[in-house]
């Protein structure tokens, strides 16, 4: 046995996608009909992990703070919202088509894969005849703008008047409720509104499992500040986001903060810092922090004719607040958390009852985020043990998400739990009938402790509290 974790990240994705399906984390959407590309369903363990991430975010970014409140706005909003925000005009990606094989590519992604010759003058517009289709070497069309908003119709008549959009970012619902929140909650600047919800983008290219999909979930804060104070708040949120990344288990060396050039920033942003993560398929965006100025509130004031001004209750100064926006993706959080957790131990880890020689996978999730918190493993299926095992199961289940497993050898059952990242396994054996104690095994240290059944829940609560980072 070797206790060295495999550090080669390149081959992790294939193994992770397979584990995600086999162990009930993430399934291909509509799989029995051949699947829908780039759409995924979260299985029983995936939904627990995702909910734990969302709960931890809500606590850290909303309820733990005095300057934050929450919101849950509708996904379908008036199209006037997206006209005013500029999304109908500007929420586009550059698209090129292959004239031969008819495949479509996002122009900027294509240039990452098929770079221009080193002699190319960067100031000159790209001549797409110089670049060839990476699939068939065919000629490409000129680049054109493609709007990423999903359109649908509201009500029984499908005409222009009933056309609506699925929101491309949760932020829109926050901006249009700014005055509702200020008035109903008596919020004073600086304050923020947090929201978790689905967003939809008709991405030209989707890629890398749940990294880029057309339906995804966001965790967003719009933080309203005095125009003179945005720099300070920007720095504060930068630090909060770094702390959050630690809570997900992201190691410092896998995170890169990138200042985004003006030409690459979203149309509403004056400053953006991307949190890039070193995924096994390359360094790409995980989250973004943007300074949206007073752009959105001003646009909505102009378009709606209603005042979006804030009056300072002390100085009586009237102004449209500026906005600092930490914007995070739930699915990318799940992905990064799973990649960080994935640990392969060559030669396996020794167990009390048997020695397993082949390599073993341990999902080292932060304990607070693990989908299943405790596993109850009676040593035998014999009837004499079952009532006590169920008694322990019921007690633990009332406090923690718990799994009961009585099939296969104890070594195999430990491995099953390690593979889904369960922090504690509780074994009930024949001695338990006499001494009313059980054995608790810690996932990471593999240490085992004998604990009185009547103190078990209390013991687990204190263990989780000791491990809790978020
Ligand atoms: N309100 C600002 C905003 O939406 P964004 O950078 O376009 O900014 C924020 O998106 C975050 O949402 C990204 O950093 C990423 O985590 C997530 N996200 C964006 N597009 C996504 C997609 N197609 N699939 C999965 N997650 C996505």
For ligand 1, whether the C-beta of 216 sits within 6 Å is yes
Q: What is the pLDDT of residue 351?
A: 52
Residue that terminates a domain, selected from 298, 321, 339: 339
Mean pLDDT is lowest, of 345-359, 393-407, 424-438, for 345-359
Q: What is the pLDDT of residue 2?
A: 36
Question: Do 101 and 71 fall into the same domain?
Answer: no
Task: Identify whether 236 is part of a domain.
Answer: yes
193 DSSP β-pair partners: 69, 222
Q: What is the pLDDT of residue 3?
A: 36
pLDDT band at 352 (very low <50, low <70, confident <90, very high): very low
For ligand 1, whether the C-beta of 218 sits within 6 Å is yes
Task: Identify whether 383 is part of a domain.
Answer: yes
For ligand 1, whether the C-beta of 220 sits within 6 Å is yes
Q: How crowded is residue 331: how many other Cβ atoms within 10 Å of its Cβ? A: 21
Q: What is the pLDDT of residue 354?
A: 52
Dist. CA 196–CA 191, nearest whole Å: 17
Say which CATH number the domain at 54 has: 3.30.930.10
Dist. CA 60–CA 375, nearest whole Å: 28
Task: Identify whether 360 is part of a domain.
Answer: no
Q: What is the pLDDT of residue 467?
A: 86
Q: How crowded is residue 262: how many other Cβ atoms within 10 Å of its Cβ? A: 9
Q: What is the pLDDT of residue 359?
A: 84
Residue 211 near residue 329 (C-beta atoms within 8 A): no
Question: Do 191 and 306 fall into the same domain?
Answer: yes
Say which CATH number the domain at 411 has: 3.40.50.800
Q: What is the pLDDT of residue 353?
A: 45
pLDDT band at 112 (very low <50, low <70, confident <90, very high): confident
For ligand 1, whether the C-beta of 190 sits within 6 Å is no
Task: Identify whether 239 is part of a domain.
Answer: yes
> 38 versus 293: which is more confidently predicted?
293
pLDDT band at 6 (very low <50, low <70, confident <90, very high): very low
- Mean confidence (pLDDT) of the chain: 93
Task: Identify whether 270 is part of a domain.
Answer: yes
**CA 181, 186, 188, 190 torsion: positive or negative?**
negative
Q: What is the distance between the terminal CA atoms of the chain, rounded to a whole angstrom?
A: 33
**pLDDT tops 70 at residue 123:** no
- Summarize the confidence of residues 382-392 as an average pLDDT: 94
Q: What is the pLDDT of residue 439?
A: 98
Question: Do 394 and 330 fall into the same domain?
Answer: no
Q: Could you give the angle at which helices 330-341 and 12-22 cross, rounded to 10 degrees?
A: 110
Q: State the pTM of this model.
A: 0.92
Q: What is the pLDDT of residue 116?
A: 66
Q: Which atom of ligand 1 has the smallest separation from the CA of 203?
A: 23
Task: Identify whether 352 is part of a domain.
Answer: no
Question: Do 33 and 178 fall into the same domain?
Answer: yes
Q: What is the pLDDT of residue 48?
A: 98
**pLDDT tops 80 at residue 1:** no
For ligand 1, whether the C-beta of 322 sits within 6 Å is no
Question: Do 388 and 445 fall into the same domain?
Answer: yes
For ligand 1, whether the C-beta of 327 sits within 6 Å is yes
Residue 283 φ then ψ, to 5°:
-80, 115
Q: What is the pLDDT of residue 8?
A: 62
**pLDDT tops 90 at residue 468:** no
Residue with CA closest to ligand 1 atom 19: 329
Q: What is the pLDDT of residue 117?
A: 64
Question: Do 332 and 379 fall into the same domain?
Answer: no
Mean pLDDT is lowest, of 69-83, 115-129, 354-368, 426-440, for 115-129
Tokens 């300072």 appear where?
A: 312
**pLDDT tops 90 at residue 130:** no
Question: Do 138 and 178 fall into the same domain?
Answer: no
Which of 279, 258, 264 lies closest to 331, judged by CA?
279
Q: What is the pLDDT of residue 357?
A: 59
Question: Do 214 and 112 fall into the same domain?
Answer: no
Residue that terminates a domain, selected from 339, 357, 390: 339
Residue with CA closest to ligand 1 atom 6: 288
pLDDT band at 222 (very low <50, low <70, confident <90, very high): very high
Question: Do 50 and 196 fall into the same domain?
Answer: yes
Residue 256 near residue 279 (C-beta atoms within 8 A): no
Question: Do 10 and 117 fall into the same domain?
Answer: no
Task: Identify whether 31 is part of a domain.
Answer: yes
Ligand 1 centroid to residue 452 C-alpha, Å: 48
Mean pLDDT is lowest, of 8-12, 333-337, 392-396, for 8-12
Residue that terminates a domain, selected from 317, 339, 361: 339
For ligand 1, whether the C-beta of 276 sits within 6 Å is no
**pLDDT tops 60 at residue 355:** no
**Where would I find the H helices in 86-196?**
87-90, 107-113, 171-176, 178-185
Question: Do 70 and 120 fall into the same domain?
Answer: no
Which of 112, 105, 115 lies closest to 146, judged by CA?
105
Number of structural domains (the chain) is: 3
Q: Which atom of ligand 1 has the smallest separation from the CA of 332?
A: 16
**pLDDT tops 80 at residue 350:** no
Domain encompassing residue 401: 369-467
Question: Do 383 and 428 fall into the same domain?
Answer: yes
**pLDDT tops 60 at residue 4:** no
Q: What is the pLDDT of residue 424?
A: 98
Q: What is the pLDDT of residue 254?
A: 97
Which of 393, 344, 353, 349 lies closest to 372, judged by CA?
393
Residue 23 near residue 419 (C-beta atoms within 8 A): yes
pLDDT > 70 fraction of the chain, expressed in percent and rounded: 93
Task: Identify whether 326 is part of a domain.
Answer: yes
Residue 170 φ then ψ, to 5°:
-75, -20
**pLDDT tops 70 at residue 227:** yes
pLDDT digits (tens, 9 = 90+) for 194-203: 999 999 999 9
- Summarize the confidence of residues 253-280 as an average pLDDT: 96
């Amino acid at each position: 046995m070797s206790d060295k974790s495999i550090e080669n990240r390149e081959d992790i994705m294939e193994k992770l996608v397979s584990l995600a399906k086999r162990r009930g984390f993430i399934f291909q959407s509509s799989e029995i009909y051949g699947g829908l590309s780039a759409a995924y369903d979260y299985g029983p363990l995936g939904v627990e992990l995702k909910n734990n991430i969302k709960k931890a975010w809500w606590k850290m970014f909303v309820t733990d703070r005095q300057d934050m409140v929450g919101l849950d706005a509708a996904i379908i909003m008036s199209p006037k919202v997206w006209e005013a925000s500029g999304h109908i005009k500007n929420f586009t990606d550059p698209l090129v088509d292959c004239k031969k094989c008819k495949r479509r590519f996002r122009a900027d992604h294509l240039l990452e894969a098929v770079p221009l010759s080193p002699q190319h003058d960067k100031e000159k517009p790209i001549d797409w005849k110089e670049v060839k289709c990476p699939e068939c070497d065919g000629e490409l069309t000129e680049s054109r703008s493609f709007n990423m908003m999903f359109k649908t119709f509201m009500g029984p008549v499908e005409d222009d008047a009933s056309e609506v959009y699925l929101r491309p970012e949760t932020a829109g619902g926050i901006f249009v409720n700014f005055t509702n929140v200020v008035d109903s909650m008596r919020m004073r600047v600086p304050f923020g509104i947090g929201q978790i919800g689905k967003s939809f983008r008709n991405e030209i290219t989707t890629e890398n499992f749940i990294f880029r999909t057309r339906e995804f979930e966001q965790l967003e804060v719009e933080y309203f500040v005095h125009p003179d104070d945005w720099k300070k708040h920007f720095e504060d949120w930068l630090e909060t986001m770094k702390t959050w990344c630690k809570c997900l288990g992201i190691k410092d060396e896998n995170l890169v903060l990138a200042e985004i050039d003006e030409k690459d920033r979203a149309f509403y942003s004056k400053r953006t810092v991307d949190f890039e993560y070193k995924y096994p398929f390359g360094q790409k965006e995980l989250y973004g922090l943007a300074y949206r100025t007073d752009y959105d509130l001003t646009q909505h004031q102009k378009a709606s004719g209603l005042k979006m001004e804030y009056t300072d209750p002390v100085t009586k100064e009237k102004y449209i607040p500026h906005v600092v926006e930490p914007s995070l993706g739930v699915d990318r959080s799940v992905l990064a958390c799973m990649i960080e957790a994935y640990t392969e131990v060559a030669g396996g880890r020794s167990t009390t009852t048997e020695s397993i020689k082949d390599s073993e996978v341990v999902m080292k999730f932060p304990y607070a985020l693990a989908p299943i918190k405790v596993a109850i493993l009676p040593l035998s299926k014999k009837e004499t043990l079952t009532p006590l095992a169920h008694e322990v199961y019921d007690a633990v289940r009332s406090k923690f998400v718990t799994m009961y497993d009585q099939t296969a050898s104890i070594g195999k059952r430990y491995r099953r739990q390690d593979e889904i990242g369960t922090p504690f396994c509780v074994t009930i054996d024949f001695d338990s009938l006499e001494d009313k104690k059980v054995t608790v095994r810690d996932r990471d240290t593999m240490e085992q402790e004998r604990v009185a059944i009547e103190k078990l829940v209390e013991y687990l609560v204190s263990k989780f509290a000791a491990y809790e980072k978020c």
